[in-house]
Amino acid sequence: MRLLQIIKGILSKPGLAVGGLIVLAFAVVAMAAPLIAPPVEEEFPYVLPKDGFSPIPKPPCPGHPLGTMTGQYDVFHGLVWGTRLAFRIGLLITLGRVLVGVLLGLISGRYGGLLDVIIMRMTDAFMAFPIVAAALVMVALFGQPRWSLLAGGRAIMGSRIEQIVILTLILFGWMQYARLMRGNVLAERDKEYTQAAISVGALNRHILFRHLLPNATQGLFVLIASDIGAMMVLVAVFSFIGLTGGLTGEPVADWGQMLSMSRNWIIGMPSDAFKYWYTYLPPSLAIVLFSVGWNLIGDGLRDVLDPRFTGSRA
């Protein structure tokens, strides 16, 4: 019955439906990337194919449906394979945040006392660090340019700096999940089903993961959906300013890096300001739509799964 109500609620929320369709379209492109834009070298599918050496971008033409950037790197290939990278980054960082935050929130809310105080003070301490500044400091301390190389000396995706940035975004981003889970657990731990499990001598891990966790997910999926798009945008910003990507010598299918390569062409000639639109507009739209799709899903799930929120807005 509850499932039917959720499905009916989803169908009644146009924003949620639109967001789902946008994310679904990106997912289809990501899965079909080898068919839509076959890589020149199968071992390096994310490396942008190059068709010349001219620094002047070329407009869309046969073989390059979205034209080429400076250095004659194919825009279409970067747009398609960048979809896979966006999902990988967004899901990987968000999953890491969820695992750390949910576990600490469960422990904090379940046991309380001194352990709860220590975890919450640690949470406050991590929240005091601006995440962008934290990423810059971590890269400065640990981001020596030691690349992972394959045969032939070509650097691949997953450089040391990129790994440090991803770990930093996880390390300084789990706090909101911990606070959310702790609050939900505090509301559930004194209910009859939890007390019954304790009275019959159930193991602590059984109480945590079989009783409290399934009943303390209010707001969790909303936060996850919103976080996926936000993390992709944040990593794209890091790529745009040159913190990640662009250091391997070969541009890759990273929307932020593609925008960075196109920054000199955003304003065209005085007589035609939008002459080089194909260098920056496709990756810009991809970043915006990917983020908007996940945000619409998050907002829609909040309306569907939290009747109190819906009622307060009415």
Band of pLDDT at residue 159, cut at 50, 70 and 90: low
Write down the pLDDT at residue 67.
Answer: 92
Residue 154 forms part of a structural domain: yes
Write down the pLDDT at residue 189.
Answer: 83
Residue 18 forms part of a structural domain: no
Question: Tens digits of per-residue pLDDT, 42-62?
Answer: 778 888 898 888 889 999 998
Residue 171 forms part of a structural domain: yes
Residue 6 forms part of a structural domain: no
Question: Tens digits of per-residue pLDDT, 199-218?
Answer: 777 777 888 888 888 888 88
Mean pLDDT on 226-248: 82
Mean pLDDT on 2-27: 78
If one counts the domains in the chain, the total is 1
Residue 229 forms part of a structural domain: yes
Residue 144 forms part of a structural domain: yes
Residue 6: partners with Cβ closer than 8 Å, 6 or more residues away: 304, 305
Q: pTM to 2 decimals?
A: 0.85
Residue 76 forms part of a structural domain: yes
Write down the pLDDT at residue 92.
Answer: 94
Contact between residue 115 and residue 185 where contact means Cβ atoms under 8 Å apart: no
The DSSP output letter for 112 is -
Instruction: Give the residue numbers spanning the domain of 171.
Output: 28-284
Distance in angstroms (rounded) separating the CA atoms of residues 123 and 14: 36
Distance in angstroms (rounded) separating the CA atoms of residues 290 and 82: 11
Question: Tens digits of per-residue pLDDT, 83-141?
Answer: 999 999 999 999 999 999 999 999 999 888 899 999 999 999 999 888 888 888 888 88
CATH classification at residue 187: 1.10.3720
Helical H segments across 33-190, by residue range: 33-36, 75-111, 113-127, 131-142, 160-171, 175-188
The whole-angstrom distance between residue 265's C-alpha and the CA centroid of its chain comes to 27
The first and second tokens of residue 276, run together, are 């080089």
| Mean pLDDT, rounded, of the chain | 83
Residue 118 forms part of a structural domain: yes
Distance in angstroms (rounded) separating the CA atoms of residues 110 and 104: 10
Write down the pLDDT at residue 313.
Answer: 45
Q: Which long-range contacts (CB under 8 A, 24 or more apart) does 104-107 make?
A: 104/174, 104/178, 104/181, 105/177, 105/178, 105/179, 105/180, 105/181, 105/182, 105/184, 105/185, 106/181, 106/182, 106/185, 106/208, 106/209, 106/212, 106/213, 106/216, 107/208
> Looking at the predicted structure, is the pLDDT value of residue 14 above 60?
yes
> Looking at the predicted structure, is the pLDDT value of residue 270 above 60?
yes
- Percent of all residues in the chain with a pLDDT value above 70, rounded to a whole number: 86
